[in-house]
Amino acid sequence: MLSTAEIGIDLGTANILIYSKTKGIVLNEPSVVAIDVNTKQVVAVGTEAKQMVGKTPQNIIPIRPLKDGVIADYDVTAQMLKEFLKKVSKKIGMSMRKPIVVVCTPSGSTTVERRAIHNAVTSYGAKQVHLIEEPVAAAIGSDLPVDEPVANVVVDIGGGTSEVGIISFGGVVSCNSVRTGGDKMDEEIIHHIRKKYNILIGERTAENVKMEIGYAHPNHDEETMEIRGRDMVSGLPKTVIITSTEIHYALKESLDSILETIRATLENCPPELSGDIVDHGIVLTGGGALLRGMQEWLSNELIVPVHLAPNPLESVAIGTGRALKMINKLQKAAK
């Protein structure tokens, strides 16, 4: 007899990951869909669609349906999800037919949005669908002892949003979300290059700059990078050399907004749990946690220990998959 497949889905604003209990991460692709505006058909999803960003003919537009942490277009989201499930079902084989699915949704999502996700997964043939909150999944996937009565603080810096959650005894004690994450940082880099050099660069160039020479901490050994864009005066391609120091200052506003969100959450923490935070500190996860110097900078600012999760880009997916056996308990705690 075939056993039922159990899978976890991290429906992130930048990346979608699917985790299978038996095979681990089976899909990790950007949450992007390319749509033909004339026929409304999905032309490409994931990696293939992301490669089209900024390069498509007019009738084909790449969409990030979850961009700001809210589901801008749930038809598109549902179509995208189905395409990914189709890809994965081949990998996992027949047992995928009636899987039990746990989906992690952005914590700001509304009831209507959650129902849309639920329906999309159910219509794909899932036997059961459970939705869990992002901070809980992030904490489980970061190996934190979420079901113990201690404060587990997790900060998940994603593409569209950053979420801060305090979890104790299997439930969320307090949490906050801010619409600032990696995307805002990319936008700030684009804005800075336009203002200082009169050069237009694309989102992908900006993301590369952030990953290569972005620093959270102002005190670092300065690095430089050559970038190319379009000169706004001549309209022609132009190359300039930029420094990590100027990029740090370009990112400052996003960084400060994430810091303030963490601070506000810690200040709301029940006093009995505050002591735990001083001892155990907080765990950083999400792609934005990989910005250089993030750990040291936050630790200096907050005066608590800050740790990096073992696999920041995968913690939520792993936690979602692992959450299955805790689901009943978590649901009870939430009541």
Binding site for Mg ion (CB under 5 A): 12, 158, 316
List beta partners, residue 284: 155, 308
40: left (phi over 0), alpha (psi -120 to 50) or beta: left
Decide: 63 and 41 in contact? Cβ < 8 Å.
no
Q: Mention every residue, 6+ apart, whose C-beta is less than 8 A from residue 315.
A: 137, 138, 141, 142, 156, 285, 286, 309
Residue 159 makes contact with ligand ADP by CB under 6 A: yes
Encoded tokens for 100:
């039990």
Query: What DSSP line would sit under 123-189, residue for residue?
Result: HTT-SEEEEEEHHHHHHHHTT--TTSSS-EEEEEE-SS-EEEEEEETTEEEEEEEES-SHHHHHHHH
Rule CB under 6 A: is residue 14 a binding residue for ligand ADP? yes
Between 208 and 274, name the residue whose CB sits nearer to ligand ADP: 208
Residue choice 62, 170, 286, 319 for contact with ligand ADP (CB under 6 A): 286
CB of 158 to Mg ion, least distance (A): 4
Distance CA 298, CA 164 (A): 13
Q: Does 178 bind ligand ADP (CB under 6 A)?
A: no
Nearer to ligand ADP, 21 or 67 (CB): 67
Q: Is 314 in the site for ligand ADP (CB under 6 A)?
A: no
Under a CB-based contact definition with an 8 Å cutoff, are residues 317 and 18 in contact? yes
Choice between 83 and 147, CB closer to ligand ADP: 83
What is residue 57's three-state secondary structure?
coil
Give the number of other Cβ atoms within 10 Å of residue 56's Cβ. 17
Q: How far is the CB of 312 from ligand ADP (least distance, A)?
A: 7
The reply to whether 290 sits near ligand ADP by the rule CB under 6 A is: yes
- Reference 317, options 128, 59, 80, 137; nearest CA is 137
Among residues 65, 158, 165, 319, the one that binds ligand ADP under rule CB under 6 A = 158
Q: Which of Mg ion, ligand ADP, none does residue 15 bind (CB under 5 to 8 Å by kind)?
A: ligand ADP
Which residues neighbour 152 within 8 Å (Cβ) at sequence distance 6 or greater? 139, 144, 145, 146, 166, 167, 168, 280, 283
Based on CB atoms, which residue is closest to ligand ADP, 99 or 160? 160
Of 75-83, 157-165, 216-224, 237-245, the window that binds ligand ADP (rule: CB under 6 A) is: 157-165
Interface with ligand ADP, residue 255, by CB under 6 A? no
Q: Which is nearer to Mg ion, 8 or 229 (CB)?
A: 8
211 belongs to the binding site for ligand ADP (CB under 6 A): yes
**170 is a site residue for ligand ADP (CB under 6 A):** no
SS3 7: strand
Q: Smallest distance from the beta carbon of 194 to ligand ADP, in angstroms?
A: 19
- Give the nearest residue (CB) to ligand ADP: 182
- Report d(CA 12, CA 14) in Å as an integer: 5
Does 12 interact with ligand ADP (rule: CB under 6 A)? Answer: yes
Using CB under 6 A as the criterion, which residues of the chain lie in contact with ligand ADP when the complex forms? 12-15, 158-160, 181-183, 207, 210-211, 214, 286-288, 290-291, 313
